[in-house]
Amino acid sequence: MSQLLKDKDLILRALEPSDLEWLYQIENDTSLWTVSDTYKPYSKEVLARYLENAHQDIYTAKQLRLVIEWSAQAIGLVDLFDFDPKHKRAYLGIVILGPYRSKGLAKRALSLMMVYAKGTLDCHQLVATMTEDNTESIGLFESAGFKRTGVRKDWVFEKGVYKSEYFYQRIL
């Protein structure tokens, strides 16, 4: 039997209460804050409440966060957010922990999410944004068939410097 969100030894799965400590580490990793627009730490209590509500339907919550698991190890997260069923689109975000980068795992996770977005959610397109200096993400999304369709000049202010943000789309 095949699973929709599985590819060989990589699976996208729902968050579980047992992911609390792992999620706490990721959400409080300040090196990731620039890509997630986070400005303050999350408490375990806040994240525990988030996990309690993570079961909400994407049509209600307008977002879906899944754990990327490879060889039974949680290695990252992939998100659909700002889901708009009327216009059949959503934003797509991904984070892979450092030791698991540059192994093709992020591209596999994106492929699974694109199949899910089109086949299950009837999305027509996915959107991703990243700063001009995020070369890893730019390479990843371009290799997954996303096209740069816009630039927001001086959109992100970080450590005293303005950065432009690239806008990518993938028609499914």
pLDDT tier at 1 (50, 70, 90 boundaries)? very low
Taking alpha carbons only, the member of 24, 5, 1 closest to residue 120 is: 5
Q: pLDDT tens digits for 79-120? A: 999 999 999 999 999 999 989 999 999 999 999 999 999 999
Lowest mean pLDDT among 34-48, 62-76, 127-141: 34-48
What domains are there in the chain, each with its CATH number?
6-171 (3.40.630.30)
Contact 144, 170 (CB under 8 A): yes
- Please name every residue paired with 69 in a beta bridge, in sequence order, or none if there are none: 11, 74
- Rounded CA-CA distance 120/66 in Å is 15
What is the pLDDT, as a whole number, of residue 87? 98
pTM value? 0.90
Calculate mean pLDDT across residues 124-153: 97
Q: Where are the beta strands (DSSP E) in the chain?
A: 6-7, 10-14, 64-70, 73-84, 89-96, 125-131, 147-158, 161-171
What is the amino acid identity at position 167? F
The answer, yes or no, to whether residue 20 has pLDDT greater than 60, is yes
- Please name every residue paired with 95 in a beta bridge, in sequence order, or none if there are none: 77
What is the pLDDT, as a whole number, of residue 28? 83
CA distances from 133 to 44, 54, 56, 149 (A): 31, 32, 34, 17
Calculate mean pLDDT across residues 12-20: 91
> If residue 54 lies in a helix (H) or strand (E), which one and from where to where?
none
What is the pLDDT, as a whole number, of residue 3? 64
> Percent of the chain at pLDDT above 90?
67
